[in-house]
Structure 1
Amino acid sequence: MNLNAVELGFLKRMDNNSGHELALFRQIAMGDEAAFASLFHLYVPKIKPVITQIIRVEGPEKDIIQEIFLGIWLGREKLNEVAMPHNWIFKMVYFRCYTWLQRQGTRNKAVHILGLENPLVSNFTEENLSFSETAMLVKQAIQQLPPQAKKIYTLSREGGLKITEIASQLDLSPQTIKNSLVRSLKSIREFLIEHGVILPLILLEMGVLFFC
C-alpha cells in the first residue's frame, strides 16, 4: 500500500508523539515531577471531553481527571513497563469513569456505556488501595491545618474560589490569602512526606482528593 505525503506526515507525528510520551513515562517512573506536569497538561485536553461523553454530565470530570493522574503517579514504578502510553492512559479513563458511575448507583449504565462488566479491575486493585490510603492521609493533613488556613484552603480547592473572591469573603487582603495557601500546601506536603507519600505539587494545587 502506498502512502501519500499527508499520511506519511501523520504517521511520523504519531511516532514522535509516542516517543515523547514514552520518554515522559520513563522520567515520571524516576519521580520527575516536571515530566508529570508535562504529561498532565498534554493529556487533560484530550481526556476531558471523553470523560464528559461517558458520564454524560458536566462537573465531575475534574474529580475524575484528578483520580486518573493520582493513579498514574502512585503507580509510577510500573510506567517503565508501558509500551503504549496513550492506550494505557485511556484504559485508566474508562476504568475511572466506570468507578464513578458505580458510585452514583448507575452500575447498569456503566456496563451499557462501556460495554464491560468489570473493566480492568484486576489491573487496578493495588492502585485503588494506594489511592484510598493517600486520600485518607491528605484528609488528615488538611484537618491539622489551623482553622483559618483550613477554611481558606477549602474555599480555594473545594469551593473553586479565586484568591480575590476568598479575600473579599473573609475580609482579608489577597496577599494574606496567597501566603496562607502557600503555607498550607507546604504543610500538607510535609505531612505526606513524613508518612512516606510524595505527591507532585500540581495535584495538591488542584485540591486533589477533596472529592473522596
Structure 2
Amino acid sequence: MERDTQILKCWKQVLFESNVNAFEALFRLTNANFIKFCQQYISDRETSEEIVSDVFVDLWLNRSKLEHVKKPEVYLLICVKNKALNHWKKKSSMQLVSLDEETNEIIDAYRPDEELERKELFMQLDRAIGSLPHQCRVIFKLVKEDGMKCAEVAEILNISVRTVHAQIYRAMTKLNTVMTKHQASDAAIIIKNIASAIALFLFLQSSCF
C-alpha cells in the first residue's frame, strides 16, 4: 500500500473510529518528514519535535471536528508551519521586551460595565459564527482561527480558491451585519474594527493568488 493511501486510511480511522493504533501509525508515517519540515523554521531539533508532537496532540483532541479535511498531510504540515511561526514570533517578542525595574506603577483601567458589555458582544459574535452554514463556518475557522491562506484552505478542502473567497465574504457580511446593531458602544466599534481588519487581511491575501 502506497504511503498516501496509508495516511488517508489512518486518518479516517482516527477521525471516525478514534483508533489509537491508526493514530500511532499516522505518527510513524509522517513524524520524520514533519520534524525536518519544521526545522526550516525552527533550527533546534528538540523544539521541532515538541511542535510536531503538539500538532498530533491537537489532532487527537479535535479529531471529531476535522471530517472536512480531504488532504490530511497538507493540513498537518500547515499546522506545523503555523505553530513553528508562532513559536518563532513569540521567542522574538520575548527577546525584544525591555523591563524597566523602576516602573512599578500599575494603572487600574478595569471597568466592570465595559468588561461585561465586551463579553456579551463577543458571545454574540461567537453565536453569529456558529450560525454560519457548515462549509462557510469551517472555511472561516481555518482562515481566521488557524491562520491558513485561502489557497491552503482550498487545497485541504479540495475546493476552488474562488469558493473560499466567496464563503469568507459571506461570513464577513453576516458578522458585520450582526455587529452593526451595536454601533453605539465603544466595545462594538472595537470588534467591528477587528472584523474590518480581518476582511482587509483576507482581501490582501486573496490578491496574492
TM-score bracket, normalised by the shorter chain, equals: 0.3 to 0.5
TM-score by length of 2: 0.42
Highest relative contact order (Cα 8 Å, sep 6+), 1 or 2? 1
TM-score by length of 1: 0.42
- Which structure has the greater CA radius of gyration? 2
